[in-house]
Structure 1
Amino acid sequence: MPEGVREFAALYPYHLDDYQLAACRELDEGRGVLVAAPTGAGKTVVGEFAVHLAVQDSRKCFYTTPIKALSNQKYHDLVERYGPDRVGLLTGDSSVNSEAQIVVMTTEVLRNMIYAQSPTLNNLGFVVMDEVHYLADRFRGPVWEEVILGLAESVAIVALSATVSNVEDFGEWLRTVRGDFAVVVSERRPVPLFQHVLVGRRLVDLFDGVAPTASELPAERAARVNRELLKVSREESGRVRDDSRRARGRSGRGRPGQRSSYGDQPAQRFAARQPGRGEVAIVLERARLLPAIYFIFSRVGCDAAVRQVADSGTVLTNRAEAALLGDIADRHVAGLGEADLRALDYERFRDALMAGVAAHHAGQLPAFKAIIEEGFATGALKLVFATETLALGINMPARTVVLEKLVKFNGEAHVDITPGEYTQLTGRAGRRGIDVEGHAVVLWRSGMDPRAVAGLASRRTYPLRSSFAPSYNMAVNLMATLGRDRARELLNQSFAQFQTDKSVVQASRAGRGLRVDLAGEYAAVECHLGDFMEYARLRDEISRLEAAASKDRRREQAEQVSDSMTKLLPGDIVHLDRQGWSVVLRVGQKAQRGAEPWVQTISADHTVLKLQPHDLRGPLTPVGRVRVPRDFSVRDRKSRRSLLQSMSERIEEKDPQVPDVASPSDESVARRIAEFRRELKRHPCHECPDRETHAVHAARIIRLEREAERVERETTGRANSLAVQFDRVCAVLDELGYLDGDDLTDAGRMLRRIYNELDLVAAECVRRDVFAGLDAPELAAVLSTLLYESRPSRDSVPPRMPNRASEQAQSALRATWREVGQVERRHRRDRGREPDIGFAEAAWRWASGQELAKVLATTDLSAGDFVRWVRQVIDLAGQLASAAGPGDLRRTAHAVQDAMRRGVVAVELEED
């Protein structure tokens, strides 16, 4: 072992793992290194070795993280080791000792430094990229690739990642763009993880024997699911079937589509065995499985769970622990006034905390999250209800992780969690140096399949997919620093393009295989009478035209049938193909786009049908009408007879002809088909005795040729896809005057300083004086519309702009967004998301100096979400001040920052 690595390892109170030592050796030998290991396995040790090397070599080291909370945590860790003089912090909100030898920062800050060619980058030797798998994040992921591609070649990168299934691909890409780069992978959890299912109040092991995640390496054969759980599942299924039969027996017949496992009383008795959250806490306490993180995929659910446990009187702490937690909480909120604390319901939060229970989610106040994180680290806080964001955030391991459900809402639908998500969530279980083993507990739910749970628990990896795509801000920054050609070249070096290119290679390989197959088939269609492929293509064209004509006829007929149904009225007499003369009883029009019309009819034999277009051979044409009484009921035999008697009398009176169901046809297509058939018969190969044998091979050739053409089109479309996107971005910027050839205009230089999803719209608003004449609260309100994204809400009261001036400015901003969208459409770019006024009034009120309680009362946002959106407005105002240059807009933007940095927001910034 190299001496430097040995000296560094001696700083730790435990022996470093083999993978940690291997990664440190690679770094000591001058290589960059990608480290992929399970959550909690100690990857950050390798990042800390990079800091150690930088200090020894008198060079700088930047330690980057995806979120501010992680940056703050790492900053405090490094200050403890190296002292405050050597360590700095840059998060956008905070700037502490920014020119220090060791600087902890968010990845966005480093990206901005690279584009600005900041002198702070001088003498930079190492960059640690913690949680590098964040580059898969749709919104923030591209920043990681911008940094990896933009850093000087002399900078060694330490990339720390969760275990991903395509780590070799990622490592290969890093070697391609960064040169000598090592990949070190560990599958071993330092603390073995045991899996359980909580059935009622009993903890049952998920596996017979040792779980795969409790082994150093994946088991050679799959671990067997515990037979006791399979028995529970079978008993429940049998009980549900029996209950369903009894329900049918009681009512005479079952109700179609009803699942008795959720709706019937006996099934509910089984489901009632599921314990409440307070009971789960007691079970975990008695099993000595606390502290625990209890994942609930809902912020509201997390807060409700804390109330349920607290209201049940459950106390998980002793007096000393309760006092410690109270002191921690009071220290973090010392800067807040009584009114703010009341608005935040602090006393209730503090009481639950001292009982050992808290919630942790993105909607929480950062100060409250800091209290929870510190309290949990001491071991005094016993149970934290959390959303899945905790699994991707700060270092907060527990002895046990509980999953209440294995289904979550993804914003559009309720979906099963993936094996990768399960791994990430349960990875928090087992505190290194404290616990000899970790535990994952899944709560039993009605209908659960233990084998499916075992499948989640046995697979530990997930693929890393790039989300990189050029934005307008990225384009002008790349143009300014590299020029157009070099920028296109750089984009083609991205991980996104690397993954695309691999698929292009696979497609090309498939194309080569198709061509080999074609060569063999061509030999089989050689005909001594002529060009058989020419003959075969005539046959194929005839078949294609006939199929297309048939499809057109079916579509036209379906449209005619549908139109005829929508024009019917109750009482119309129509003829059905099988039932004969019938009376229309009800008509259902198209209730929504894509829905089909329907009609309900009754025929002479009393058959009642509900018909849709696909049930009919042709349009329904009324031949007469009868009156359908308002109180008509198909269940009333007398009413049916009377109505059908009226129908018979009307038919006898008019003696209508049965409508002829004619199929529409296209005469021009029919003529072409006839012409091709004549040509086919004149072709010399038509008389070949082996014609049909040749035809089989010819048909295969035509199919292979079409497949080869499809593969070639896809390959061409994928190759250089990011460069094509970049060209479209530049075309938009050219048209709007941000570029002059390969040079940036003044507008382009202004756009370089705006980092926002609607960056181009914001820049256009500056150019068009949309923000001119607004005061600070009005500007805050309008800027919020470029940032905010409303959550789905059932509220009937629509949001509004706070006053006339802000409303006029927002209308102008929206018009700008539409005009930019028109330019984007011309250049085949997706339009940016729509501006959202949902936070405008809250931003205006806060910037106007109103109290926190009054502002929160006007919005359904949590205090944490409110602070987060205020911060983003402050950040965008700062970007705008920098972009606009000297003048009124810069002064007003700075006034926005000053007005909004107060009270709870100012305290949170200090927390950071």
Structure 2
Amino acid sequence: ALGINMPARTVLLERLTKFNGESHADITPGEYTQLTGRAGRRGIDVEGHAVVLWGPDVDPTRVAGLASTRTYPLRSSFRPSYNMAVNLVSQLGRAAARDLLESSFAQFQADRGVAGLVKQIKRHEATLAEYEQQMRCQAGDFAEYAALRRALGDREAALSREGARARRGTVAASLEALRPGDVIRVPSGRRAGLAIVLDPGLHPRDDPHPTVLTESRWAGRLSMLDFPVAVDVLGRIRVPKNVNHRSPQERSDLVSSLRALKLPEAPRGRRGATKALHDDDEALRLRSALRAHPCHHCADREQHARWAERHARLQREVDGLRRRIEGRTTSLGRTFDLICALLEDRGYLTAARPASSGAPGGSGGTADETTPPGRQLARIWSEADLVVAECLHAGAWDGLDPAELAAVTCTLVYEARRDERAVDRMPSAAVREALARTVRIWAELAEDEAAVGLPQSREPDLGFVWAVYRWARGERLDRVLTAAAEAGAELSAGDFIRWCKQVLDLLEQLAAAPAAGGGTIAVAAPARAAAAAIRRGVVAQSMQA
């Protein structure tokens, strides 16, 4: 069997399948190598032999493939758990723990892109530290000064965009008000100068595109790009109703009428384009703070500013990479955040708070603390760790005797190999009530897990209740296995021993777990007695082997 270390010259494989906990599946190349690696006694045999028993379903090609494969894919089984979360947070802090998970082999395997992004972030963070050294100013905090410069630049850009939108609306309104015969001035561009509106060019779903005739006798359509400011009507000229702007004679007559108006020259300079910028209170405040900052008068200010700009650009890139990681559903860091949020809601972690320089996981950042229930959870290593902690917190198992406690706790470690019929009868009323509370606690937790997108904790399995209850009460192994079979769980002696060890492990954790308020938990003594009752006979002998 797998895992047994014993000398043998020849290993015989009766079949190429094994039970994997759920079903009988084909063995992998790694399992084949582990099995056949037992052949050949060290110091006695020069070589060993592996024999695969022939059968109608044995494919020689597949056997050759199993024997010749020497590289096996590694698959990480690592997943963040509730117990792991509280331990990592208490020792490292939430941010450092998250970084650690995102650098793990499990994360690399789950999503190689995330692992690569994390490495890229770390390289950028090292570069950011170098930039911070280069932008350091003796006059004061240049990072603060650079932030003021960026804030002022952002505010000016926002005001510019607002002004552009306002001007565009004003221009559109002025163009929509034009009528044939209006004399306007095109302010800039190739067609700059006086022009006569021949057709306003209004359209219900588009900007106006007026058709005009300029002083140079050019006739055509203009767009809003030709008018950076609103259009003023300078005068009017009578335009024939069916004017043909393609006729040279008609264009010449209209231009002569335009010149006869003798309109004044266009005013020079800008028309208050930056008025809003100079009148904005926020921009004025930022500009005043910028000038008052000590770094504003530094002789190397612009050199520091260039390094600060590089720092800001790279920081934006790092922030973008972090957002990409946040968006990955396979990110262990994302799962860790969801676990921490659930633990925080249930009182096992405190919310992030400002950290002192000596706090774990940061200097001046944020720190997290585990609550007394969280420290209790940190001492429970089980697949159903949070269900166990919730049951302890709710007192769901208080008052049970050792055998009853073993019967209830086994439901959180036992997992049936196949579908078993439901267990209708319980060993005692106390066991029935405790199991009902346990299942109710599990259901509430599973609902919360589903709501936040976490995998649901496994449902308690009642298949081992009668077996461990009778064993803890001192009954013989044959009677225990018979009772289990009658209850719907057919167990071999090996399976019984294996599950007893799992229950023992959980009971010993309960015996040593601290109470949330200090001292020991209420079930500590029954758990200790239950562990002693289970550790006897074949179970005790298997633990000595």
**Is 1:462 paired with 2:84?**
no
Cα distance in structure 2, aligned partners of 1:506 and 1:481: 26
Number of the residue aligned with 2:460: 835
Cα distance in structure 1, aligned partners of 2:9 and 2:113: 42
**Is 1:893 paired with 2:519?**
no
- Evaluate the alpha carbon distance shift between residue 459 and residue 758 of structure 1 in structure 2; reply closer, same or farther with a 3 A threshold: same
Q: Deviations over 1:645-675 (max 9, x none)?
A: xxxxxxxxxxxxxxxxxxxxxxxxxxxxxxx
Superposed, which structure 2 residues align to 1:339-350 within 5 Å? none
Number of the residue aligned with 1:848: 473
Cα distance in structure 2, aligned partners of 1:466 and 1:876: 24
- Evaluate the alpha carbon distance shift between residue 906 and residue 466 of structure 1 in structure 2; reply closer, same or farther with a 3 A threshold: closer
Quote the offset at 1:413 in angstroms: 5.8
Give the partner amino acid of 1:901.
R
Number of the residue aligned with 2:82: 472
Superposed, which structure 2 residues align to 1:176-575 within 5 Å? 386=1, 390=2, 393-408=3-18, 410=20, 415-446=25-56, 448-500=58-110, 502-503=112-113
Give the partner amino acid of 2:97.
A
Select the structure with the greater relative contact order (CA < 8 A; seq sep ≥ 6).
Answer: 2
Give the partner amino acid of 2:462.
I
Quote the offset at 1:756 in angstroms: 0.7
- Evaluate the alpha carbon distance shift between residue 772 and residue 417 of structure 1 in structure 2; reply closer, same or farther with a 3 A threshold: closer
Aligned residues of 1:776 and 1:847 also touching (Cα < 8 A):
yes
* Counterpart pick for 1:826 among 451, 454, 457: 451
Q: Deviations over 1:719-766 (max 9, x none)?
A: 981111110110110111111121111110110111111100000000
Number of the residue aligned with 2:341: 731
Which has the greater radius of gyration?
2
**Is 1:746 paired with 2:380?**
no
* Counterpart pick for 1:810 among 431, 435, 438: 435
**Is 1:878 paired with 2:508?**
yes
Q: Deviations over 1:578-625 (max 9, x none)?
A: xxxxxxxxxxxxxxxxxxxxxxxxxxxxxxxxxxxxxxxxxxxxxxxx
Number of the residue aligned with 1:906: 540
Quote the offset at 1:440 in angstroms: 1.7
Describe the SS at the equivalent of 2:412. coil
Give the partner amino acid of 1:776.
P
Aligned residues of 2:41 and 2:48 also touching (Cα < 8 A):
yes
Cα distance in structure 2, aligned partners of 1:475 and 1:505: 20
Aligned residues of 1:423 and 1:461 also touching (Cα < 8 A):
no
Describe the SS at the equivalent of 2:30. helix
Quote the offset at 1:407 in angstroms: 4.0
Give the partner amino acid of 1:754.
I
Aligned residues of 1:761 and 1:820 also touching (Cα < 8 A):
yes
Cα distance in structure 1, aligned partners of 2:343 and 2:498: 31
Q: TM-score, normalised by structure 2?
A: 0.54
Number of the residue aligned with 1:761: 387
Quote the offset at 1:462 in angstroms: 0.7
Cα distance in structure 2, aligned partners of 1:415 and 1:875: 28
Q: Which has the higher strand share?
A: 1
Q: Deviations over 1:456-491 (max 9, x none)?
A: 222222111211111000001111111111111211
Quote the offset at 1:499 in angstroms: 3.1
Aligned residues of 1:504 and 1:719 also touching (Cα < 8 A):
no
Cα distance in structure 1, aligned partners of 2:329 and 2:450: 22
Describe the SS at the equivalent of 2:71. coil
Quote the offset at 1:412 in angstroms: 5.8
Q: Deviations over 1:106-141 (max 9, x none)?
A: xxxxxxxxxxxxxxxxxxxxxxxxxxxxxxxxxxxx
Cα distance in structure 2, aligned partners of 1:736 and 1:715: 26
Give the partner amino acid of 1:817.
W
- Evaluate the alpha carbon distance shift between residue 419 and residue 844 of structure 1 in structure 2; reply closer, same or farther with a 3 A threshold: closer
Quote the offset at 1:775 in angstroms: 1.4
Number of the residue aligned with 1:790: 416
Cα distance in structure 2, aligned partners of 1:783 and 1:505: 38
Cα distance in structure 2, aligned partners of 1:504 and 1:485: 16
- Evaluate the alpha carbon distance shift between residue 459 and residue 506 of structure 1 in structure 2; reply closer, same or farther with a 3 A threshold: farther
Which shows bigger deviation, 844-853 or 433-442?
Answer: 844-853
Number of the residue aligned with 2:317: none
Cα distance in structure 1, aligned partners of 2:333 and 2:113: 17
- Evaluate the alpha carbon distance shift between residue 409 and residue 495 of structure 1 in structure 2; reply closer, same or farther with a 3 A threshold: same
Q: Deviations over 1:845-897 (max 9, x none)?
A: 22222233322221232223223322322221221122234353222222212
Give the partner amino acid of 2:529.
A
- Evaluate the alpha carbon distance shift between residue 451 and residue 844 of structure 1 in structure 2; reply closer, same or farther with a 3 A threshold: closer
CA RMSD of aligned residues (A): 2.9
Cα distance in structure 2, aligned partners of 1:714 and 1:425: 44
Q: Deviations over 1:137-164 (max 9, x none)?
A: xxxxxxxxxxxxxxxxxxxxxxxxxxxx
Describe the SS at the equivalent of 1:792. coil
Cα distance in structure 1, aligned partners of 2:59 and 2:542: 44
Cα distance in structure 2, aligned partners of 1:433 and 1:828: 56
Describe the SS at the equivalent of 2:523. helix
- Evaluate the alpha carbon distance shift between residue 895 and residue 423 of structure 1 in structure 2; reply closer, same or farther with a 3 A threshold: closer
Number of the residue aligned with 1:102: none
Aligned length, in residue pairs:
318
Cα distance in structure 1, aligned partners of 2:44 and 2:97: 50
Q: Deviations over 1:786-830 (max 9, x none)?
A: 111112156x57364211111011000000000011111121101
Quote the offset at 1:438 in angstroms: 1.5
**Is 1:778 paired with 2:388?**
no
Superposed, which structure 2 residues align to 1:861-872 within 5 Å? 861-872=491-502
Cα distance in structure 2, aligned partners of 1:401 and 1:754: 40
Cα distance in structure 1, aligned partners of 2:372 and 2:325: 39
Number of the residue aligned with 2:164: none
Number of the residue aligned with 1:518: none
Describe the SS at the equivalent of 2:340. helix
Query: Percent identical across equivalent pairs?
Result: 56
Cα distance in structure 2, aligned partners of 1:789 and 1:890: 24
Aligned residues of 1:800 and 1:837 also touching (Cα < 8 A):
no
Give the partner amino acid of 2:500.
V
Cα distance in structure 2, aligned partners of 1:506 and 1:745: 35
Describe the SS at the equivalent of 1:402. strand
Cα distance in structure 1, aligned partners of 2:84 and 2:325: 26
- Evaluate the alpha carbon distance shift between residue 405 and residue 851 of structure 1 in structure 2; reply closer, same or farther with a 3 A threshold: closer
Cα distance in structure 2, aligned partners of 1:891 and 1:415: 42
